[in-house]
Every structure is written in C-alpha cells, then in structure tokens.
Amino acid sequence: MIHSLVYYIKTGSSFEPFYEYKNHSINEDEIYARQLCEFFIKDGKEYELYSNEMKDSEEILVILDKGSSAIFSDEKTYNGGIHLEVRQYKNIGEMSLLHTFHLNSHWEVIRYLLKDIIDIPGQGQKARDSAEIDEDRRCYVLYVTDM
C-alpha cells in the first residue's frame, strides 16, 4: 500500500525534499496520474520530471526547477471537480485551449494520460506531446500536436 508521494528537487548532485502528500490527502489514482505527467506547476513555477522512483511504501518524483511557468491568455482556475485541459502544442508563448474534459475520477484522467493518440471533440485525433499537473489552476493539462 502506498503511504505517501514525495517530490524532490534535483540541484546538481543533491536532492532536496520539496513537497509531500500523505495518504489521507491524496489517493492512489491521483498518485499514478501525477506520475504520468512530465511537468508540475506549483506556486508559479514549472518543474520537469527527472525520475519516478519508489522506496518501500513511498512514491518519489524527482523534479528539475525550470523557472517561472508560462501563463496563457485563456487560462482559468477551476474550483471543485477534476479537469483535464487539452492544449495545442505550438511554442512556449501560446498554446491554445482545444477542449476541457470534466472528469469524475483520477482513474479517468489516467486513461487520457496513457494514450499516444486522443480524439478531441470538435478537433479530431491529435498526438500526445506531454502532460502536466497544474496545482495553481487545479487541473491537468494535456499538450497535443497535429498528426
């Protein structure tokens, strides 16, 4: 049984504890969904996944500090529920919102995060580029490209 998820920041050859989620504040499906995201946004900063590890009943994500996170003109913060934005990957400056899925569980998020090709309502099939968990806006973001 998983007891916690701990983020560490890698700086040079050292690893500094960054944030911990105990099992009472996060469920296993959310832990797995987070492990499928290459990027993590928290407190206005962007982090990139360096490694995904486990030690006994502890899940560990080692991340690299990438600096301030990009802000898109059509961003919104979600209150309540589980949301997955799909954005067209173009360049760092602007990635347009294609669709927002309102999902019932992190298990449903995992279904999308595992796919290489995703059918986006009104857009057709798109190829997965990367994904992030944006804690500041309380949503997952899936970046896609044209096929």
Rounded mean pLDDT, 119-142: 96
pTM of the complete model: 0.92
Residue 134: pLDDT band with limits 50, 70, 90: very high
| CA neighbor of 62 nearest in space, from 11, 125, 121 | 11
Residue 139 predicted with pLDDT over 80: yes
Q: Which helix (H) or strand (E) holds 112?
A: helix 106-113
Instruction: Spell out the domain ranges in the chain.
Output: 4-68, 82-145
Mean pLDDT across the chain: 93
Q: Are 79 and 139 in contact (CB under 8 A)?
A: no
Angle at 116 between CA 95 and CA 113, to 5 degrees: 70
Look at residue 2 and tell me whether its pLDDT is greater than 80.
Answer: no
Q: 83-128 pLDDT, tens per residue?
A: 999 999 887 667 899 999 999 999 999 999 999 999 999 999 999 9
Q: pLDDT by residue (tens digit) across 60-77?
A: 999 999 999 988 888 999
**DSSP helix/strand/coil, 86:** strand
pLDDT score for 93 = 65
The stretch 38-48 carries a mean pLDDT of 97
